[in-house]
């Protein structure tokens, strides 16, 4: 049998795993007799392996907001569509409320609660993708959201009340990014905590409550962050959770 | 159309991975991906249905990268050190020391070699596909791959001659 000479191109094709088995075997036989080339080939294989080791984790990262392709052109499944419809409806309602609430602060606050409720009804029914980053990566989640909001945020632990953290996501708000943490109890009942940096004059406010189409929302401002806790549970229960959240963030 | 957009969306994580390895910088990488997506969106009509969408997107990215390479590279060398530290704090990198070493080593490759090495090694393009993306003959891809891998090997092995070359550059 006449063997073709081994070329530099063959060595790279071998590294890239694209040679037919027979030719690959010839290369291996050659490498066994040429330790310098063998070392080189081993090093090239290791280069490819480390590229994957170091850069592959990026494939699983949530995309930064600016790389999400602009909606509504990119409306994906029904949920996003529902979210857009909800937002359009919200605009209408908010416009109408402008007449009702002349005081700008009051208007702002009710809009905030309504947005929290819309975000709650949009994401809490999600089965497969309720959050962008799961609770298993809580430290990363909190770091990421803190960075995007430009403020130190924490995910309160509500295990004592029977709610465990599912994870969180980043959402667009009218004045910058908003974070949403999701919790769930043993029966699958979900609560969401919606928060953003609040640069308004008020550093803190009392709890306020509003009910938006069946979703209860307690909302307040504390330490320069605006919070809204939403859930489809009765008011006393929701208040109990809101109080626990507040206490944890103000130990 | 909506389907095609979804297909583009599916490619974003890979475009980010490649851009991150290519530029050595998370922010620059996302800038590059953003520019690529914007250009792709305005040029949908130029894409031939049935042709390889991934190769098309990488070609767009490559063209933007080459056009911007000179000023960006200058930028990157200045910011490399601080960037690695920032990434170590904010990103879920598996091993930031290894990331830093690899970033530094890749930065010492001419971008023609780095591009080929990453398209083939990281993105697993075939040599023919890489040649199309880079718009060069396949022989050029092969010689750049060969030189790039050898240079990277020397740099990673801490060859002082190679390091000295960087200073001169």
More confident residue, A90 or B35: B35
Distance between A107 CA and the closest CA of chain B, angstroms: 35
Which of A81-90, A123-132, A178-187 has the weakest average pLDDT?
A81-90
pLDDT digits (tens, 9 = 90+) for A200-209: 767 777 888 8
- Mean of pLDDT values over B99-124: 92
Q: Residue B88: its pLDDT value, please?
A: 46
Helix residue ranges per DSSP H, chain A:
8-15, 21-33, 35-55, 78-100, 104-123, 138-149, 235-249
Average pLDDT over residues B38-64: 85
A62 pLDDT band, cuts 50/70/90, is confident
Q: Which of A7, A69, A147 to mutate to test binding with chain B, by most B CBs within 10 Å of its CB?
A: A69
Whole-number Å distance between alpha carbons of B150 and B166 = 15
A233 near A217, Cβ under 8 Å? no
State the pLDDT at residue B159. Answer: 62
Nearest CA-CA distance, residue B74 and chain A, Å: 23
**In this model, does residue A101 exceed pLDDT 50?**
no
pLDDT averaged over every residue in chain B: 80
Structural domains of chain A, with CATH: 8-106 (no CATH), 128-249 (3.30.200.100)
The pTM for the full model equals 0.53
Percent of chain A predicted with pLDDT > 70: 81
Burial B59-77 (b: 16+ CB within 10 A, else e): bbbbebbeebbeebeeebe
Query: Residues, chain B, total?
Result: 169
Tell whether ipTM is more than 0.85. no
Q: Give the pLDDT of residue A105.
A: 52
- Where is mean pLDDT largest: A213-222, B75-84, B92-101, B124-133? B124-133
Sorted by where each begins, the domain ranges of chain B are 1-77, 82-158
User: Chain B residues with CB inside 8 Å of A42's CB?
Assistant: none
Residues 6+ apart with CB under 8 A from A8: B142, B146
**Residue labelled with tokens 């971008």:** B111
Name the residue with higher pLDDT: A185 or B47. A185
Across the interface, whether the CB atoms of A48 and B121 are under 8 A apart is answered yes
**Phi, psi angle pair for A98, to nearest 5°:** -60, -35
Q: Point out the residue among A43, A59, A137 whose CB comes nearest to the CB of B153.
A: A43
Q: Which long-range contacts (CB under 8 A, 24 or more apart) does A38-41 make?
A: A40/A11, A40/B150, A40/B153, A41/A11, A41/A14, A41/A15
Closest to A188 in 3D by CA, of A126, A122, A132? A126
Element (H, E) at B85: helix B53-90
pLDDT score, position A198: 81
pLDDT at A12: 96
pLDDT of residue B71: 62
Rounded CA-CA distance A140/B12 in Å is 21
- Residue A78 at interface with chain B, using a CB cutoff of 8 Å: no
Asked which of A14-23, A78-87, A135-144, B8-17 is least confident by mean pLDDT, the reply is A78-87
Q: CATH classification of B82-158, choosing from 3.30.1370.30, 1.10.10.10, 3.40.50.620, 3.40.30.10?
A: 1.10.10.10
Distance from CA of A61 to the nearest CA of B (A): 8
Residue A83 has pLDDT above 70, yes or no: no
Question: Which pLDDT belongs to residue B74?
Answer: 53
Arithmetic mean of pLDDT, B115-126: 96
Share of chain B above pLDDT 90, in %: 47
- Chains A, B: CB contacts within 8 A come to 97
Q: Which residue of B has its CA nearest to A53?
A: B94
Q: CATH second-level architecture of B1-77? A: Orthogonal Bundle (1.10)
pLDDT digits (tens, 9 = 90+) for B18-35: 999 999 888 889 989 999
Sheet bearing A190-197, strands edge to edge = A133-134, A164-173, A176-184, A190-197, A225-231, A215-222, A208-212
CA distance A218 to A206: 10
pLDDT at B48 over 60: yes
CB contact under 8 A, A76 and B9: yes
Each residue of A26-47: pLDDT tens digit? 999 999 999 999 999 999 999 9
B114 to chain A nearest CA, in Å? 12
Q: Pick the most confident of A153-157, A160-164, B144-148.
A: B144-148
The pLDDT assigned to A151 comes to 87
Q: Is A44 within 8 Å of B149 when comparing Cβ atoms?
A: yes
Is B9–A61 a contact, with Cβ atoms under 8 angstroms apart? no
Give the Å distances, CA to CA, from B112 to B19, B117, B166: 14, 9, 15
Q: What percent of chain A has pLDDT over 90?
A: 37
| A59 token code pair | 């494939």
């Amino acid at each position: 049998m006449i063997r073709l000479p081994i070329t530099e191109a063959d060595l790279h094709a071998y590294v890239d795993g694209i040679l037919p088995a027979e030719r690959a075997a010839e290369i291996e036989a050659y490498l066994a007799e040429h330790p310098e080339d063998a070392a080189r080939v081993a090093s090239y294989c290791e280069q490819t392996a480390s590229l994957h080791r170091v850069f592959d984790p990026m494939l699983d990262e949530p995309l930064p907001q600016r790389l999400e392709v602009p909606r509504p052109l990119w409306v994906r499944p029904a949920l996003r569509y529902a979210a857009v419809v909800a937002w359009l409806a919200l605009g209408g309602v908010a416009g109408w409320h402008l007449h009702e609430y002349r005081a700008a602060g009051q208007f702002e606050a009710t809009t905030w609660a309504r947005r929290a409720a819309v975000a709650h009804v949009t994401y809490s029914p999600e089965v497969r993708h309720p959050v962008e980053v799961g609770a298993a990566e809580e430290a990363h989640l909190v770091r990421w959201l803190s960075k995007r909001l430009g403020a130190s945020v924490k995910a309160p632990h509500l295990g004592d009340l029977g709610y465990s953290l599912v994870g969180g996501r980043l959402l667009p708000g009218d004045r910058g990014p908003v974070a949403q943490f999701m919790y769930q109890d043993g029966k699958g009942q979900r609560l969401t905590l919606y928060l953003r940096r609040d640069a308004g004059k008020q550093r803190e406010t009392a709890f306020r409550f509003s009910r938006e189409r069946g979703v209860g929302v307690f909302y307040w401002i504390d330490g320069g962050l605006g919070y809204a806790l939403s859930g489809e549970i009765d008011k006393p229960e929701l208040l109990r959770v809101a109080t626990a959240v507040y206490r944890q963030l103000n130990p | 159309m909506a389907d095609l957009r979804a297909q583009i969306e599916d490619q974003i994580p890979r475009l980010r991975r490649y851009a991150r390895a290519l530029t050595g910088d998370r922010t620059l990488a996302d800038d590059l991906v953003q520019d690529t997506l914007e250009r792709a969106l305005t040029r949908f009509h130029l894409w031939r249905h049935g042709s390889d969408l991934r190769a098309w997107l990488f070609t767009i990215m490559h063209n933007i990268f080459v056009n911007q390479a000179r000023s960006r590279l200058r930028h990157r060398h200045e910011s490399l050190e601080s960037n690695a530290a920032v990434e170590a704090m904010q990103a879920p990198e598996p091993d930031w020391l290894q990331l830093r070493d690899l970033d530094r080593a890749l930065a010492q490759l001419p971008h023609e070699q780095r591009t080929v090495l990453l398209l083939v090694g990281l993105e697993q393009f075939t040599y023919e596909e890489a040649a199309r993306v880079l718009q060069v003959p396949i022989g050029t891809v092969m010689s750049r791959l060969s030189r790039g891998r050898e240079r990277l090997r020397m740099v990673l092995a801490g060859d002082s001659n190679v390091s000295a070359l960087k200073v001169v550059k």
